Amino acid sequence: MPYQPKPLPFSKPLTGISDKTIQIHHDKLYTGYVNKRNEIEEKLAKTDRTAANATYSEYGELKREESFAANGICLHEYYFNVLGGDGAQSKAPDLIKAIETEFGSFDKWLEDFKAAGMVARGWVVLAYDFNEGHLHNYLCDIHNHGGIWGAIPVIVLDMYEHAYFIDYGSDRKTYIEDYLKNLNWAAAENLYKNIKK
Ligand SMILES: [Fe+2]
């Protein structure tokens, strides 16, 4: 069964982040990862496993790019999932309480999340890490480098330049502030509650 791109979970215009950016991001880049995942899986089905080699082999390269495409898909879906909101934290009481408990205060979490956004070349992920049983801000610069097995994303911020450069140039700080204004805390709360079940 081929992978299918999921539609955007919101239709309203965002604060600061333009429709053009969202359209390119979703319809071209994200959908491109879905198409490439399908292409990779088709090729893997026919690839000679007996020629597998760690330095170079068709199978090896396809398996490396399979994880790149797979994470390119799911990280974008997590990112779009928490956009389209109004930034109101009151819609995520359980998640906010957990953030306050585990980071000391909401502001301490936010300071770390924003700092991670300023240095990330790829993604910032507030994840629930089942290995440790707590929330943690992780950073991954490339889709398939830096992810933690057993950590489930709750709030994902895309810091690739394609996510903000059309609207903000190199002004990452304002993009992060606007991202927070658009944050759908109710969607993050739903995700967190499902994880905790
Ligand atoms: Fe992206």
Ligand 1 centroid – CA 110 distance (Å): 21
Question: pLDDT value at position 1?
Answer: 74
For residue 104, how far is its CA from the centre of ligand 1 (angstroms)?
Answer: 30
CA of 129 to the centre of ligand 1 (A): 23
pTM of the model: 0.95
Q: What is the pLDDT of residue 138?
A: 97
pLDDT in tens, 59-102: 999 999 999 999 999 999 999 999 999 999 999 999 999 999 99
Determine the angle formed by the axes of helices 31-46 and 58-81, rounding to 10 degrees: 150
Can you read off the two tokens belonging to residue 111?
């300071």
Cα of 158 to ligand 1 centre, how many Å?
6
CA of 22 relative to ligand 1 center, distance in Å: 9
Positions in the chain whose pLDDT score sits under 50: none
Two structure tokens written together for 58: 């068709």
CA 161 to ligand 1 center in whole angstroms: 8
What token pair was written down for 76? 């974008």
pLDDT at position 103, please?
A: 98
Structure tokens, 195: 């994880």
3-state SS record for the chain: CCCCCCCCCCCCCCCCCCHHHHHHHHHHHHHHHHHHHHHHHHHHHHCCHHHCCCCCCHHHHHHHHHHHHHHHHHHHHHHHHCCCCCCCHHHCHHHHHHHHHHHCCHHHHHHHHHHHHHHCCCEEEEEEECCCCEEEEEEECECCECCCCCEEEEEEEECCHHHCHHHHCCCHHHHHHHHHHCCCHHHHHHHHHHHHC
